[in-house]
Structure 1
Amino acid sequence: MKQEGRSVRLVDVARAAGVSPSTASKALNDAGSLRPATRERVRAAAERLGFVSDAGARALSMRRTFIVGLLSTDDVGRFSMPVMLGAENALTVGEISTLVATARHDSVREQHHLRTLVARRVDGIIVTGKTTDARAPIHVPVPVVYALAPSTDPDDISVVPDDAAGVRMVVDHLRALGHRRVAHIGGRPDQNSSRVRLAALQEALAAAGMELVGEPLFGEWSEPWGRQAAGLLLRDRQPPPFTALVCASDQLARAAVDRLRESGLRVPHDVAVTGYDNWEVMWAASRPPLTTVDMELERLGQRAAERLLGEIQPETGADTGPRGTEYVAPRLVARGSTIADD
């Protein structure tokens, strides 16, 4: 029966059918790979509730296309893909379609995609990237929100991971386990994430009365560098002068665990090791599995979409928040590289 007092929304249909809004949208638009029974259940719920989807008429009346552009500069997708998935999920709830474009760090390609998105009359654009390094803003006649890679313009809306908070979680975890002497392996020193994570580590260790052993080591975000750096920290010293090793990525941490084991050290009994990113390919391949920090990239993408929707239609009362940079809280995932099974 049609709900009184307001029009039936896609989320109402999804709730009645016991599926997610994105699944309901796919069922009603003959998209995706759904079981016939699921598709039929959604359609039956829509008919029962009196749901009517007329995107064309609605777009004309509201002067909107209900299309949002997702522009990524990432040529790999390791970090930008979860961000875009989170954004797309949030937009689907609002019955908004997405157009995805990849610039691949090519300014000419990026300008081409921007012209195309504007020509398609998108309601807004979410820009994401490969790192948290700030990027130059884009200039288009529609609202823009930057996700993961912030804009250099402080007046723009940027949604980024709170790396400093993630490192503080790592230090609190190690302190609770009794560690006091910590070493660090970082990635490329010219990148924002390396600088932020090291600065947060130094500050958190000092506040906790813990010691950073030796000079921080920087190199590539790679397993070969992780192995080499762990070897430099050890220098055949037994026992090593530290009891915990904080690595700025899961790749570095996984390789460091291997190098420690080859030196006859047990992880975490002799040295606890932490990573960063919660990249399953890495943490699951480590022996033992890595304790790490999850940047909650899908939630970050979702938040970026919410901020964009608030800019597109502020009269709806969406949570717009202040302009500038918004930080999304991470979470610590404790596993065997810091907590022994026995």
Structure 2
Amino acid sequence: MREQNGSAVTMTEVARHAGVSLGTASKALNGQGKLRDETRRRVMDAAQELGFQPNALARGLARNRSYTVGLLATESLDRFSLPLHRGVENALGADRISVFLCDGRGDPVREQFYIDQLLSRRVDGIVVTGVQSDERPSLGQLELPVPVVYAYSRSADADDLSVLPDDRFGGRMAAEHLLGLGRRTFAHITGPISFAAVRERLDGFRSALAESGVELSDERVYSGPWRESFGRQAAAELLRRHPDVDAVLCGSDQVARGVMDSLRENGYRVPDDVAVIGYDNWELLALDARPALTSIDMGLEELGRYAAQRLLAMIDGPRDGGVVRMPPHLIVRESCGATAGVTPRPLSERPFPAGPTRQEAPEGA
């Protein structure tokens, strides 16, 4: 509700309507002080009834805060960054904090420019996001006056707080799921081994298999570009060398789509003969795959939300450091056989490829 002359409702009016002092109303509306829940609720109800809109500048001055945060992105429109940024914004928005999005594109010059701009606007903190978990230079060398949290981007400085997906656990989760389905002959087709996430997923996958007495030899691990075409080529080579394979973990959903295409082209049924699990849970690919693709979801929106919450805690308290790894989720669909109740065909009935479908073996074979 507004006054008839159009002027905004003041905090004094809220205090009078709630039957409290101006100081008590201010503490209740700014989340400060030790007030009884009933008193704080009465003030909030009065503010809502009168249509009170707090003055953001006054709120900031009262607590020496700007209630703004910088979001420094490596890529602002990447399919990994979108859910990550949504999680960050949701957490900050719930605390009535505005976000300045800056697309640094991994360029140190652009990043420096945006950091200077953010500091000139007196942001309360900065979230640095990436599209892979490999190390990047720390902003700590700039001796920033505000806390920084890295989300899906690992700072090279151990004193910084980096929040990452637990890719090693993701690999273990896939292995344990496939073992539980009775699969025993495994392969792994993934992205470039230079990626930290690729190495960690392989380590988790291989370790979980070894604990069950199953070996994953280097001959059954293929690494190459994050493309469907590589998945097709690697799977064809895998079937030529190891036609008895009955389960494949893929390093991405794109690779998995290519793997399933190649299996189908060579007469193998998914999941009857070979179970397939992807990674990323990119629904655009996973849901339209034939059959629908089981995939590991890194939970990037949850990761972004958690990183923002940690930043808020650091703004109001001591700064934190180290690496926090967020557990992924297994999204079960038809490609692994968990929902279909299928049984692999005997080896004598399976279609062994006559030879390779390309001239060279996949990179890392």
Name the TM-score class by shorter chain: 0.7 to 0.9
Superposition RMSD in Å: 2.4
Partner of 2:345 in structure 1?
none
Q: Which residue of 1 aligns with 2:340?
A: 341
Q: Provide the residue aligned with 1:331 in structure 2.
A: 329
Percent of aligned positions that are identical: 46
Report SS of the residue matched to 1:332.
strand
**AA in 1 matched with 2:101:** V
Structure 2 letter corresponding to 1:169 = M
Deviation at 1:9, TM superposition (A): 7.6
Matched, 1:263 2:266: yes
Amino acid paired to 2:201: R
| 8 A contact 1:2–1:8 mirrored in 2 | no
Query: Between Structure 1 and Structure 2, whose CA radius of gyration is higher?
Result: 2
C-alpha contact (below 8 Å) 2:239/2:245 kept by paired residues: no
Matched, 1:307 2:310: yes
Structure 1, unaligned runs of 5 or more? 11-43
Using the TM superposition, give the Cα deviation of residue 285 of structure 1 relative to its aligned residue in structure 2, in angstroms: 2.3
Counterpart in the other structure of 1:201: 205
What corresponds to 2:166 in structure 1?
Answer: 162
- Distance in 1 (CA, whole Å) between partners of 2:311 and 2:241 is 53
Instruction: Tell me by how many angstroms 1:84 deviates.
Output: 1.0
Is 1:187 matched with 2:172? Answer: no
**8 Å Cα contact 2:151-2:307 kept in structure 1:** yes
- Whole-Å separation in 2 of the counterparts to 1:87 and 1:9: 22
Give unmatched runs, 5+ long, in structure 2: 1-16, 32-44, 342-365
Shift of 1:45: 9.3
Matched, 1:151 2:122: no
Alignment partners' CA distance in 1, 2:289 and 2:260: 7
Q: SS at 2:72's partner residue?
A: strand
* Cα displacement (A) at 1:88: 0.5
Counterparts in 2 of 1:144 and 1:289: CA distance versus 1, 3 Å: same
Contact kept in structure 2, 1:246 and 1:274, CA below 8 Å = yes
1:7 to 1, 4, 28: 28
Moved over 4 A (4+): 1-6, 49-52
Post-superposition Cα deviations, 1:90-133, rounded to whole Å, max 9, x if no partner, equal: 00111100000001122211111111111111000000111111
Counterpart amino acid of residue 102 in structure 1: D
SS of corresponding position for 2:336: coil
Measure the CA separation in 1 of the matches of 2:248 and 2:322: 34
Matched, 1:297 2:295: no
Query: Which AA in structure 1 matches 2:194?
Result: D
Question: Is 1:171 the equivalent of 2:195?
Answer: no
Structure 1 residue aligned with 2:223, among 218, 243, 250? 218
Distance 1:62 1:341 in 2: 58
Q: TM-score, normalised by structure 1?
A: 0.83
Q: Secondary structure at the match of 1:211?
A: coil
Alignment equivalent of 1:141, drawn from 133, 145, 151: 145
- Specify the alignment match of 2:124 in structure 1: 123
Matched AA of 1:148: Y
Greater CA drift, 214-223 or 270-279: 214-223
What letter matches 2:114 in structure 1? H
Residue 208 of structure 1 deviates from its aligned partner by 1.9
SS at match of 2:191: coil
Query: Distance between the aligned counterparts of 1:251 and 1:104, measured in 2?
Result: 23
Task: Describe the SS at the equivalent of 1:230.
Answer: helix
Moved more, 92-101 or 214-223: 214-223
Paired residues of 2:226 and 2:252 also in contact (CA < 8 A) = yes
Q: Normalising by structure 2, what TM-score?
A: 0.78
Shift, 1:300, TM fit: 0.3
